[in-house]
Structure 1
């Protein structure tokens, strides 16, 4: 387990990178599901983000009784709204002080703490906690719990100041988390990776699971080799390696996963790498961005100028961006794609992973 200075640095990297996402995305203006979408930033900029500022909530255009509030990083909704308004099972375990929310085959566990609610999704521990607040004994959590994990997207009506929740049917599959943990004299290693079940095509299921497991095994093998060959570290401490993942899209026969690995081998900070994996559940094929956006072969003429402009507007930009090329890093999210770059590709380390969101509607593509 990562701990101490290395762990704190790791969390800082991720926190900064997610914050930067909000500053760089090229959103459609239709969603305020997350702090990274454009409307949330506009709400903050206009000074309407007071901690207890109410937000009207509708479900598929129909009002629900409970209201949300504007939090520090986006809209917060009461768990009572999730239970009564959305009619999702919400259970509380007094012993573990854990709230459990379920939708279809997805289970989200929330463990509130001073820094927010730690989230465990289908056995996978998310690195960053969700914003959490209690008002008059009523718990509120970031709406990102719904949009990140439970198949909801959102629409913002500026005129009525109303956030509309739109539920989508998730793929009828199950995802569970496997863990590889090793403690060596030279290093500690922990990797969480997903495995899927319930696919009609068992060959496709095996193909996906084999790839996901082989990626985790490969990371562990490379970590062990590096630790044994490179120790001792500059500060004399063991190396630390971590791998985790998050499911970002799980519908319409597609499964998109964002993997992140982290390595601390001494020095001021560690290094992280992200990779997006999007699978066609019918045949288990790993899809490129060209294949996802085949409805518009000229999509680069849309995304390249937007990304170039955003990067040039960012202080510290190294220069050099011309096009995302043929093998862009991406993952699916909400109703669009997120194109991203690695640390140091075009911006200083402190900016984290630059990410750019493009709705399918802006790209002239519709997922069937």
Structure 2
């Protein structure tokens, strides 16, 4: 079973359709990633979602898909997130949250690496830093950077998630971005 949300009652019906289409396409991509052209039989597939933020004209959600293939050593989970800025009516990419030209990749990489050290997280190899299009979601006053299974850590670690306070990023956050709205204390 695969569950996913639908947005309803937006002021702009076309924007609502765009959001729901983006969610549907992301769910389809996760299913395809799990099944694709693999020769093995799927014994179990579970898809869920979590609303990470739904305030201040921002909707950030994660979609997860767990699949177990027949005779596999273990199941595999993938997570993808979508962040919608209702003020600008756009789907946010990581770069959209920061001042143009700001080296957000370097800053976020340093903050993630610090957490790896502090939390003593085992890595498969040296931490390469984040990608410019790294997976993320926004949860209240945190930007959460995350990695897929086996991307940087062994399977036993699970999906490594790194919450970063918006207050640690205020100097590089674009004032017009939804992340800026999260940095307001009220």
TM-score bracket, shorter-length normalisation: 0.7 to 0.9
CA, structure 1 residues 272+224, in 2 after alignment: closer, same or farther (shift >3 Å)?
A: closer
What SS does structure 2 have at the residue aligned with 1:246?
strand
Match of 1:211 among 22, 29, 33: 22
Instruction: Name the counterpart of 1:129.
Output: none
Match of 1:367 among 160, 172, 180: 180
Alignment of 1:144-183 (within 5 A): none
Instruction: Name the counterpart of 1:291.
Output: 96
Alpha-carbon deviations, 1:93-142, whole Å to 9, x = none? xxxxxxxxxxxxxxxxxxxxxxxxxxxxxxxxxxxxxxxxxxxxxxxxxx
Give the distance between the partners of 1:194 and 1:282, measured in 2 at CA. Answer: 20
What SS does structure 2 have at the residue aligned with 1:323?
coil
Instruction: Name the counterpart of 1:356.
Output: 162
Q: Is the 8 A contact 1:341 1:355 kept in 2?
A: yes
What SS does structure 2 have at the residue aligned with 1:255?
strand
Give the distance between the partners of 1:205 and 1:330, measured in 2 at CA. Answer: 22
Instruction: Name the counterpart of 1:197.
Output: 8
CA, structure 1 residues 288+223, in 2 after alignment: closer, same or farther (shift >3 Å)?
A: closer
Range with greater deviation from structure 2 (329-338 or 305-314): 305-314
- In the alignment, structure 1 segments of 5+ residues that lack a partner are 1-189, 232-237
Instruction: Name the counterpart of 1:87.
Output: none
Higher alpha-carbon Rg: 1
Give the distance between the partners of 1:308 and 1:221, measured in 2 at CA. Answer: 31
Instruction: Name the counterpart of 2:176.
Output: none
Alpha-carbon deviations, 1:234-284, whole Å to 9, x = none? xxxx61111110000111111100111111003221000011110122454
Instruction: Name the counterpart of 1:318.
Output: 124
Q: Once the 2 structures are TM-superposed, how far is the Cα of residue 216 of structure 1 from its aligned partner?
A: 2.9
Structure 1-normalised TM-score?
0.43
Q: Is the 8 A contact 2:50 2:62 kept in 1?
A: yes
Instruction: Name the counterpart of 1:250.
Output: 54
Q: Is the 8 A contact 1:254 1:278 kept in 2?
A: yes
Q: Once the 2 structures are TM-superposed, how far is the Cα of residue 358 of structure 1 from its aligned partner?
A: 1.1
Structure 2-normalised TM-score?
0.80
Q: Once the 2 structures are TM-superposed, how far is the Cα of residue 217 of structure 1 from its aligned partner?
A: 4.0
Higher strand share: 1
Q: Is the 8 A contact 1:279 1:285 kept in 2?
A: yes
Aligned residues: 172
Instruction: Name the counterpart of 2:108.
Output: 303
Instruction: Name the counterpart of 1:230.
Output: 40
Are residue 333 (structure 1) and residue 139 (structure 2) matched? yes
CA, structure 1 residues 325+226, in 2 after alignment: closer, same or farther (shift >3 Å)?
A: closer
Q: Once the 2 structures are TM-superposed, how far is the Cα of residue 296 of structure 1 from its aligned partner?
A: 8.2
Q: CA RMSD in A?
A: 2.5
